[in-house]
Amino acid sequence: MRLLKNQNLGEANKIFANDKYGVIQFLIDYPEMSIVPTRERGLILEGMFSFSAKPVDGIEISDSYHIRILVSRIFPKAVPKVIELDKRILRDDEHHVNNDDTLCLGS
């Protein structure tokens, strides 16, 4: 788990004080992700998101995407925004990417 040390993490400090939303576990599960300092309210997580998935009757796929997750200070009332930073995913409706480059999280 990479946390940015000796940085003023602002809102992140409040989240770690009471980690009821699982940020610490997320950082443990995805060790290439880390907290990015921000002057804005909320939390930014960024890094390589690596995963593997295997459908019941399919082949396993593994991949990694460089992403940024923007978590609003009013989470969970507002859904986090996720941006795939290397633009490997085509930017169109068919690939569930919104006009502002955020990924559609509803499907």
The residue written with tokens 């068919």 in the block is 94
Q: How many CB atoms lie within 10 A of CB 101?
A: 15
Q: What is the pTM for the complete model shown?
A: 0.79
CA–CA dist 68, 52 (Å, integer): 19
Predicted pLDDT at 37: 85
Tally of CA atoms within 13 A in the half-sphere of 37 that contains its CB? 6
**What are the pLDDT tens digits along the chain (107 aa)?**
455 544 455 555 555 566 778 888 899 999 999 999 888 888 899 999 999 999 999 999 999 999 999 998 888 899 999 999 999 999 877 888 988 999 998 85
